[in-house]
Chain A
């Protein structure tokens, strides 16, 4: 090391507050700064991980002992064409910046995450999905073109037709092949700032999945909440939310509600509690008994209802309570999301839910979605469903939870399922090898060697899953 950088160290945490790693933390303001840091990394023999908003639940943007390159400050919208709905952005632009730029002109991002805090670079690196995955595909499917800086120093422009192999590998490539410098996206035309939303209860897992299947063709968005604490006849019960765009001319007040001031999230709950303080009130319920109580109450008060809701309120539920993840306590939380082919979801999740009850480790929150396969190299999607489960970590449950998730992994793999790298934190190389297959892993390795021959780009996630 030519010049020690130890005083640049920072403890970098994941979103679940369950893991923190020491790293040299840099926040460049422009791409020149990025270039300089890459040179520093090469000179010092350090690896680099790119970080956006730091919203991954696991170790995707952590790099113990290496450089974490926080790009959220490189966040200019470079070009916006309101006539065609095409937008070109820097990688640090957030989903919030994006929708706030395009909605007043009658457009909406075709795929968004459950929080608007994520950056486009992060969304692309992880190829995120939304509540409309079965219809609109992943975020990457709406990219017209991107420019990426490869560790070799080369800048490549990629689109589905140009450098297609890199296009399909960098999207969803966990930031391990190159750094996005400019992202061009196609937005979706909107004729109202409102969505038609219907919510209804589903009494058990069978109906839960059937209803998703029945409504998926007519729904623009479809998402389920699952009460993972319920057993017996109510196993897998929950509530579905379906949302549909309003057709052209259907909303006489479109001009008013497309404006940003109309797209607000609630600021207070029960008219009293400011949302920034709500997580303190949630903490006492973050245990098995409390979770059972809250989940049961939510299910019991659930009635079929139809209403109109602004886009922002429907999509960004996770932003309703800022810092909600803090309510899980000092040891944080992990999320376990399994993707299963549609024919296998019912038996496997039945077994998984039973197992979690047997171990007294119920998930405090479950979310179901419908998916479709995509053509990206490291794809998590299947023609089926996903169930995301949140688990609280305590000092006493770590090894039991780890053991249970290992069992889950085996069940999912045997059923032809997949996992998602922005969420699961315990996936092992042999698991990844099984669901991707050796050929895909080899293809990725060949591209890695081509784009990054010196392994400059590495994260804890990459080292964990790709077995370094």
Chain B
């Protein structure tokens, strides 16, 4: 297991309480923006990502700005499911608890009307869905026992309909949204809040090179909207908010029309 950096979080005491968040997929895009935003809101952060250098840079930036250790980096590949319980335990011990868990890891590959690539599809499923299951199962078990906690899954508006351009991405996000809904139905009675975040087009690596995008928002705006929903303990959030109404329409377009569209 990769060793985290050596900085130690300040001790939690009655007069120095802290909320702690774990963020999987934190090195760039919405994840990095969320990390900055949550640090500003006073959270201590365990930041996880595959790309260690970017992660360390982000941690240093956050800690320097805060003037104390507020973020710790943990290098982790979400495809390495077996390492998850031990890593969660390590984070739990080092952070002194977990109040908020965010699964943000996600990949997308540009497909096309006539492209089929099993290897890339499997990778999409592995990162977007199976990695989420590997993390959210133990986290849900933990929060259920503690009868507190907040889970956030960064899904996508893309999970609401299967579209011609990227079937495996749509499927992975649809499955993630459905899994999060199931967790919500299971955990609300235990006082655990589950939030499904559904961004539209966000300026991130994921979007680089994509065609036909519109209403593109910066990652910081998406992070602000998601943090607001976290504070309000919402069950879902669209960012920007107008996607809620757009998706209401899109969800209800009859199939005989939808299959003729090419977006």
A402-B15 contact given A6-B138, A8-B145, CB 8 Å threshold: yes
Give bound CA distance, A58 to B142, whole Å: 24
B14 touches A64 (CB 8 A): no
Residues of B in contact (CB 8 Å), total 27
A19 touches B17 (CB 8 A): yes
* Chain B residues whose CB sits within 8 angstroms of the CB of A332 once the complex forms: 14
Q: Which of B85, B96, B144 contacts A65 (CB 8 A)?
A: B96
B15 touches A9 (CB 8 A): no
B11 touches A463 (CB 8 A): yes
- Cβ of A247 within 8 Å of any chain B Cβ, yes or no, is no
- Cβ of A7 within 8 Å of any chain B Cβ, yes or no, is yes
- Cβ of B93 within 8 Å of any chain A Cβ, yes or no, is yes
- Cβ of B146 within 8 Å of any chain A Cβ, yes or no, is yes
Give bound CA distance, A264 to B139, whole Å: 48
Min Cβ gap A42→B in Å is: 14
Give bound CA distance, A401 to B13, whole Å: 12
B141 touches A19 (CB 8 A): no
- Cβ of A61 within 8 Å of any chain B Cβ, yes or no, is no
B141 touches A6 (CB 8 A): yes
Q: Mark contacts of A404-424 with chain B using CB atoms, 8 A cut-off: 1 yes-contact digit, 0 otherwise.
A: 010000000000000000000
Min Cβ gap B42→A in Å is: 12
* Chain A residues whose CB sits within 8 angstroms of the CB of B94 once the complex forms: 65
Min Cβ gap A326→B in Å is: 15
B92 touches A22 (CB 8 A): yes
B97 touches A64 (CB 8 A): yes
B12 touches A9 (CB 8 A): no
* Chain B residues whose CB sits within 8 angstroms of the CB of A463 once the complex forms: 11
* Chain B residues whose CB sits within 8 angstroms of the CB of A1 once the complex forms: 85-86, 89
- Cβ of B16 within 8 Å of any chain A Cβ, yes or no, is yes
A19 touches B145 (CB 8 A): no
* Chain A residues whose CB sits within 8 angstroms of the CB of B98 once the complex forms: 22
Give bound CA distance, A45 to B142, whole Å: 18
Give bound CA distance, A401 to B15, whole Å: 8
A64 touches B12 (CB 8 A): yes
The B contact surface, by secondary structure, is: helix
* Chain B residues whose CB sits within 8 angstroms of the CB of A9 once the complex forms: 142, 145-146
Q: Which of B13, B86, B95, B144 contacts A59 (CB 8 A)?
A: B13
* Chain A residues whose CB sits within 8 angstroms of the CB of B141 once the complex forms: 4, 6-7
- Cβ of B148 within 8 Å of any chain A Cβ, yes or no, is yes
A22 touches B146 (CB 8 A): yes
- Cβ of A21 within 8 Å of any chain B Cβ, yes or no, is yes
Give bound CA distance, A18 to B16, whole Å: 10
- Cβ of A119 within 8 Å of any chain B Cβ, yes or no, is no
Closest chain A residue, CB of each to CB of B149: A22
Q: Which of B85, B96, B147, B148 contacts A4 (CB 8 A)?
A: B85
B145 touches A64 (CB 8 A): no
* Chain B residues whose CB sits within 8 angstroms of the CB of A6 once the complex forms: 85, 88, 138-139, 141-142, 145
Min Cβ gap B208→A in Å is: 37
Closest chain B residue, CB of each to CB of A403: B15
Min Cβ gap B88→A in Å is: 8
- Cβ of A460 within 8 Å of any chain B Cβ, yes or no, is yes
- Cβ of A135 within 8 Å of any chain B Cβ, yes or no, is no
* Chain B residues whose CB sits within 8 angstroms of the CB of A46 once the complex forms: 89
* Chain A residues whose CB sits within 8 angstroms of the CB of B17 once the complex forms: 19, 398
* Chain B residues whose CB sits within 8 angstroms of the CB of A425 once the complex forms: 13-15
List B residues 136-160 near A (Cβ within 8 Å): 138-139, 141-142, 144-148
* Chain A residues whose CB sits within 8 angstroms of the CB of B92 once the complex forms: 22, 64-65
Give bound CA distance, A11 to B92, whole Å: 13
B145 touches A402 (CB 8 A): no
List B residues 11-65 near A (Cβ within 8 Å): 11-17
B93 touches A66 (CB 8 A): yes
* Chain B residues whose CB sits within 8 angstroms of the CB of A22 once the complex forms: 92, 97-98, 142, 146
Min Cβ gap A137→B in Å is: 30
Closest chain A residue, CB of each to CB of B11: A464
Give bound CA distance, A343 to B208, whole Å: 74
Min Cβ gap B237→A in Å is: 26
Q: Which of A7, A66, A460, A464 contacts B145 (CB 8 A)?
A: A7
Q: Mark contacts of A1-37 with chain B using CB atoms, 8 A cut-off: 1 yes-contact digit, 0 otherwise.
A: 1001011111100101011011000000000000000
* Chain A residues whose CB sits within 8 angstroms of the CB of B142 once the complex forms: 6-7, 9, 22
A11-B85 contact given A4-B141, A59-B13, A402-B15, CB 8 Å threshold: no
B97 touches A21 (CB 8 A): yes
B16 touches A402 (CB 8 A): yes
A65-B89 contact given A21-B97, A59-B13, CB 8 Å threshold: yes
- Cβ of A235 within 8 Å of any chain B Cβ, yes or no, is no
List B residues 76-108 near A (Cβ within 8 Å): 85-86, 88-89, 92-98
Q: Which of A18, A44, A45, A47 contacts B14 (CB 8 A)?
A: A18
Closest chain A residue, CB of each to CB of B145: A9
Min Cβ gap A202→B in Å is: 31
Min Cβ gap B30→A in Å is: 27
Q: Which of B12, B85, B139, B147 contacts A19 (CB 8 A)?
A: B12
A64-B15 contact given A8-B145, A11-B148, CB 8 Å threshold: no
B94, B95, B98, B142, most chain A CB atoms within 10 A = B142
B14, B92, B138, B148, most chain A CB atoms within 10 A = B14
A64-B146 contact given A7-B141, A393-B15, A426-B13, CB 8 Å threshold: no
* Chain B residues whose CB sits within 8 angstroms of the CB of A59 once the complex forms: 13
Give bound CA distance, A58 to B139, whole Å: 27
List A residues 327-361 near B (Cβ within 8 Å): 332, 334
Question: Which B residues have a C-beta under 8 Å from some C-beta of A?
Answer: 11-17, 85-86, 88-89, 92-98, 138-139, 141-142, 144-148
Apart from the given pairs A22-B92, A398-B16, 7 other A-B contacts in the complex at a CB distance below 8 Å: A4-B138, A6-B145, A9-B145, A334-B14, A425-B15, A426-B14, A464-B11
A–B Cβ pairs within 8 angstroms, 8 of them: A7-B145, A8-B145, A10-B145, A64-B93, A65-B94, A65-B95, A393-B15, A460-B12
